[in-house]
């Protein structure tokens, strides 16, 4: 059973890897410039453990409650795997303390208030600095999260001054139902500006199962892939991402 699942995940990983490699080649970029982040939300810890067996150690979740349980479980299943856990979902300030206990990086920081809550939580937990990306809004829809591009510089400057946070770059989700190309182009310009002010902010997290090629063409350094690796999330995914086909 688990051997079947492992073979299934291995085939899906091969296909995703081929897409990433192809996109890098077309863009004249080195494969090493793009990290592959496996988004394991709604899938069991056993799947995350199998992905680490296949060599994927950058894993992501979008809900604190689900993630804190899963991260502990993966730690029990694969005590020797050096997993780096990423938070990529909308986050309420009252979850900051919990998130900094399991996340190595939070990609969804979209307000000064949230940044301050995370900074305080890092100091309260006495943990190493937390890597953060600012999440930019590409559709100005507040319900989907993200900081308006016009306010990105101010948010970044605030994070750069926070003792518990390390500003690593920018993340965004493409607008729904529109060609992601122009949105990724605006994002790349914003990321370039940010990098001029903050040389350590080199990450551009963009691209998911459906649009990773366009994102890589526009400079993504981190694609976040769920469906294409793990399969469709079905009803559990309503409101939290795009459902898709099984691999």
Residues near ligand PLP, by CB under 6 A: 39, 41, 62, 88-89, 173, 208-210, 224-228, 241-242, 244
Selection from 107, 115, 114, 49 nearest residue 80 by Cα: 49
Residue 80 has which token pair?
């020797």
Q: In this complex, which beta carbon is closest to ligand PLP, that of residue 146 or of residue 219? A: 146
Choose between 133 and 162: whose C-beta lies nearer to ligand PLP: 133
45 versus 171: smaller Cβ distance to ligand PLP: 171
State in angstroms the smallest separation of the CB of 79 from ligand PLP.
Answer: 27
The nearer residue to ligand PLP, 149 or 225, going by C-beta atoms, is 225
Closest distance between ligand PLP and the C-beta of residue 108, in Å?
7
Residue closest to ligand PLP when measured from CB atoms: 226
Smallest separation (angstroms) from ligand PLP to the CB of 199: 26
Least gap, CB of 16 to ligand PLP (angstroms): 9
- Minimum distance between the CB of residue 224 and ligand PLP, rounded to whole angstroms? 4
Cα 242 to Cα 41, 159, 238, 245: the distances in Å are 12, 30, 8, 10
For the chain, the straight-line distance linking the first and the last C-alpha, in angstroms and rounded, comes to 16
Give the residue with the Cβ less far from ligand PLP, 5 or 127: 5
């Amino acid at each position: 059973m688990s051997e079947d699942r492992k073979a299934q995940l291995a085939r899906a990983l091969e296909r995703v890897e081929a897409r990433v490699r192809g996109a890098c080649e077309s863009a004249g970029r080195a494969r090493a410039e793009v990290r592959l982040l496996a988004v394991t939300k709604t899938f069991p810890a056993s799947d995350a453990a199998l992905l680490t067996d296949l060599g994927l150690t950058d894993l992501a979740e979008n809900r604190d409650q689900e993630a804190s349980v899963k991260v502990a479980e993966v730690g029990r299943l694969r005590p020797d795997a050096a997993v780096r856990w990423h938070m990529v979902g909308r986050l309420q300030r009252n979850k900051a303390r919990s998130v900094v206990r399991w996340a190595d990086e939070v990609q969804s920081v979209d307000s000064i208030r949230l940044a301050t809550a995370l900074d305080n939580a890092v100091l309260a937990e006495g943990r190493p600095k937390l890597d953060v990306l600012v999440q930019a809004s590409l559709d100005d829809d507040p319900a989907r999260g993200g900081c308006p591009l016009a306010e990105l510089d101010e948010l970044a400057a605030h994070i750069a001054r926070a003792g518990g946070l390390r500003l690593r770059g920018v993340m965004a989700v493409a607008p729904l139902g529109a060609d992601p190309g122009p949105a990724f182009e605006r994002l790349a310009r914003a990321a370039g500006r940010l990098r001029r002010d903050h040389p350590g902010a080199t990450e551009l997290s963009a691209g998911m199962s459906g649009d990773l090629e366009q994102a890589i063409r526009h400079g993504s350094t981190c694609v976040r892939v769920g469906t294409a690796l793990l399969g469709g999330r079905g009803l559990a995914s309503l409101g939290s991402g795009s459902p898709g086909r099984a691999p």
